[in-house]
Chains A and B, each alone.
Chain A
Amino acid sequence: MVSMTKLSGYHSSAASNARLKKRHAAEVRLKAYGIIAIALAGLALLALLWSIVGKATGALTEHYITLPVDLEAAEIDPDNIGKANFGGLTKDVLKEQFPMVTNRKSKKLLYDLVSSGAGFELRQDILDDPSLLGKQIEFDFLASDVADLYFKGTFGRLDGVETSGDLTLIADDKEIEVISSAPDFIAALEVVKAGLLDRARVLRRQAKLQDNGVQEFIRRADRAEDNATKEAALAQVATRETQRDGLLAQADELERRAAAEGGNEKIGRKEPSLLLKIGDGWIKMTEVTPNGGRGEEILPIGDITSVPAGGWLYYVADQPEVSRKVSDNQAVWLETLRDKDAVKKTLNWRFFSSGDSREPELAGLWGAIVGSFWTMLVTFSVAFPIGVLTAIYLEEFAPKTRFTDIIEVNINNLAAVPSIIFGLLGLSVFLGFFGMPRSAPLVGGLVLALMTLPTIIISSRAAIRAVPPSIKNAALGLGASKVQASFHHTLPLAMPGILTGTIIGMAQALGETAPLIMIGMVAFIVDIPGGITDSASVLPVQVFRWADFPERAFEARTALSICVLLVFLVLMNALAVFLRKRFERRW
């Protein structure tokens, strides 16, 4: 028997107190889950913005290399400037700077330092001012994407190392032997050895994977039911064991070399480069010992055979040559140019004023911005009137019939149809049936309008419903017709809410990508679109395309495009918030 009176005494008991502690702990836990959830969401947002803004800063600046151009010597026909070979002229200018570059491969590397667009810019300058012909001018050549990234430090820096010994140089036909009187090169050797250990670790990990395979096939062999399977498995075991042992042996060897005192290590493309600077000359080391090593000349050092302490420096690159886009030769050339003060860093206005390009350093976003503008113009002029009129109809005029019901359900469901389906609709109806031009803002705008329509209708209906019926009734009471009451009274009062919803819908449309890809807006379009039927790209599609390009420099440009897109979205949403705050009325 349970006595209720006895039970009521329980609430003051120790048992109740103990239980209470647990109950409150559960509450604290639930609260903590909530805080963790919010924090995780915040963290995700921060990580996203951080990674994008961090990457975008790289595209805010561009580099120019200022070099003298002798327009007299160049053979340019003043009457036909446009036809002259400015690409060749640019190459000649570069060769003049580094005359020792002779072989084809090196030449190509050298030409890669300057953008392929630089020649066209030089031509444009001369076309604008033909009097430059026959003069000696200093021209700012746009650095190529690789050179630009190098200057921005994307490929790591060259770290100078202090030296204390006197250096002796002994040249043979191909290489130069370098000997320092002090063990200056120990630091470089350590870096190389650290690289060896890294490689050993990778090998061991691969060996471990092979070993897993060995175990797995041994198991399979044990479980095999027929001989053929068993033999196949055992064969696998054997090959994997050989591979594993080979890898382990390599790792052992590397670790032994790394552990040894002194030593003589080769520096290949997989090791961090070691570069020696003597005066204006540079040597790239191919072999290193604690006291020196061997290397090949990149920039001539002349006939020097010995250098006193302090007259030379060496540099260790952060990354091995193989893992960066800029070769040692290019790095040395760029460093030399920088030492000559020939390198200039400017704000990247080009990015905001030019159209798309396959060359990252020439690519700009303006075409996409204009394309977005035309697309949004079409979207707005279609979706806004239709959306608002539909909302008025449904709220004020529609009879309560099955048909109206169907329309309402329809609108709600359209709001949840994936955007890519709207793209397919545009593809088959606007392009296929109506024969509208591909890639045009007209079609993109129409597709986005259909997609945005439900958003606009739903928010407009809410805004219209928020206007008290008393106002409409007052108008009706004065003898206004239903149409007059709606258009003269309800609609103007609902307008702020309608506009707010429309802007939010437009912001969604501005960020939408998938349906536009479906209707071919993903094409490569260099020209700035001049109207709604020209081929165009839009901001989010531009982001999508650039994100796909392999050139490293496009990454920063993609991130910067995202920032531009986000700025537009923030502005639009701010406008919506402003409208809501400024005109919102509580009835």
Chain B
Amino acid sequence: MNMTNAAIAEKGVGALDVKISSKGVDVYYADNHAIKNVSLDVLDHTVTAFIGPSGCGKSTFLRCLNRMNDTIDICRVTGDILLDGDDIYAKSVDPVQLRAKVGIVFQKPNPFPKSIYDNVAYGPKIHGLVADKADLDEVVEKSLRRAAIWNEVKDRLDSPGTGLSGGQQQRLCIARAIATAPQVLLMDEPCSALDPIATAQIEELIDELRSNYSVVIVTHSMQQAARVSQKTAFFHLGEVVEYGDTNTLFTNPEDKRTQDYITGRFG
């Protein structure tokens, strides 16, 4: 598996398009300067990992990519973030529409207190993605299949999503995000609340998702970043210290701080 990964990654650098491009992004929480002048490009059909010590701003930056930070009153974002060349912070962009294109999965699984089916159907319904019930059923099934949970839940689509195990809940949340038909999938430490087996399942899933989506994942686990991603950005104190191919970054970091972090001197 590692072989194929590397192959795609190598091919990717040259051939893949830039999906999200950020230039000089700064984020402030009231007076606190949380993200400082971050510029990096996220490629299509690639898993990009953000790593770094706690509080380094990686999650904050991730949440800027689909404007989840808008829901926090005191948060202010400057600089440019372009999705397919369009500024997502432009006045004409509706965050609601943006979030349909750039989905997000959170750290803690948060299924709605509804049935499994309704959880997945929620996105397509509110966006009016499908015309009839048959299409909706199909979208739900496809999403659940793609999230690799279909076989576990196909017989109990009507039971509440909150009744699943932690790993299943997280895959349900991924299915829910996929059902909205996004182009980019953001994942905010999706495995930190899960046990090792569930984590492995999710990681496998992430790798498969790459074929259809651009995936950005925040993780505090370097092993995880190394396992699932092709590109990695190392965040430290609100800045991007180093950004490049995952293999290069882990084997041959350019910056001293990166080296200290991946060798476990701090974090």
Contacts and interface: CB of A to CB of B under 8 A. Distances in A.
B127 A19 contact: yes
Contacts of B181: 4-5, 7-8, 10-11
Nearest to B142: A4
Interface string A1-42: 110110110111001110110011000000000000000000
Interface residues of A, number: 16
Interface residues of B, number: 21
Interface stretch (B93-101, B238-246, B257-265): B93-101
Main secondary structure of the interface of A (DSSP, over half): helix
Contacts, number: 49
B121 to A, nearest CB: 13
Interface string A341-360: 00000000000000000000
A8 B19 CA distance: 14
Contact of A8 (B138, B142, B146, B182): B182
Contacts of B128: 15-16, 19
B94 A7 contact: no
B7 interface: no
A223 B163 CA distance: 62
A511 B183 CA distance: 62
B148 to A, nearest CB: 15
Contacts of A19: 127-128
B9 interface: no
B78 interface: no
B135 interface: yes
A2 B139 contact: yes
Contacts of A17: 97
A74 to B, nearest CB: 80
B139 A16 contact: no
Interface in B108-155: 126-130, 135, 138-139, 142-143, 146
B5 interface: no
B210 to A, nearest CB: 14
Interface in B20-77: none
Nearest to B131: A2
Contact of A16 (B97, B142, B178): B97
Contacts of A2: 130, 135, 138-139, 142
A52 to B, nearest CB: 38
A23 B96 contact: yes
A519 B68 CA distance: 61
Main secondary structure of the interface of B (DSSP, over half): helix
B100 A11 contact: yes
Nearest to A15: B128
B212 interface: yes
A7 B140 CA distance: 13
A7 B126 CA distance: 14
B97 A1 contact: no
Contacts of B135: 2
Contacts of A8: 101, 181-183
A19 B182 CA distance: 17
B18 to A, nearest CB: 17
Interface in B173-218: 178, 181-183, 212
A322 to B, nearest CB: 63
Contacts of B96: 20, 23-24
A20 B139 contact: no
A20 B178 contact: no
Nearest to B99: A11
Nearest to B134: A2
B102 to A, nearest CB: 10
B214 to A, nearest CB: 11
B94 A4 contact: no
By CB atoms of chain B within 10 A, which of A5, A8, A16, A17 has the most? Answer: A8
Contacts of A20: 94, 96-97
Given A4-B181, A19-B128, A11 B101 contact: yes
B124 to A, nearest CB: 8
Given A2-B142, A4-B181, A8-B182, A23 B126 contact: yes
A318 B130 CA distance: 70
A566 to B, nearest CB: 36
B126 A4 contact: no
A12 B94 CA distance: 11
Nearest to A18: B128
Given A10-B181, A20-B94, A20-B97, A5 B130 contact: no
A11 B97 contact: yes
Contacts of B129: 7, 10
B163 to A, nearest CB: 27
B127 A11 contact: yes
A1 B128 CA distance: 17
A9 to B, nearest CB: 8
A24 B95 CA distance: 12
A7 B183 CA distance: 10
Given A1-B138, A2-B135, A11-B127, 11 more contacts: A4-B143, A5-B181, A7-B139, A11-B100, A11-B101, A12-B101, A15-B128, A19-B128, A20-B97, A23-B126, A24-B94
8 contacts: A1-B138, A2-B130, A2-B139, A8-B182, A11-B100, A16-B100, A16-B128, A19-B128
Question: What 9 A-B pairs are tightest by C-beta distance, nearest first?
Answer: A7-B181, A8-B181, A11-B100, A11-B101, A2-B138, A19-B128, A2-B135, A8-B183, A7-B129
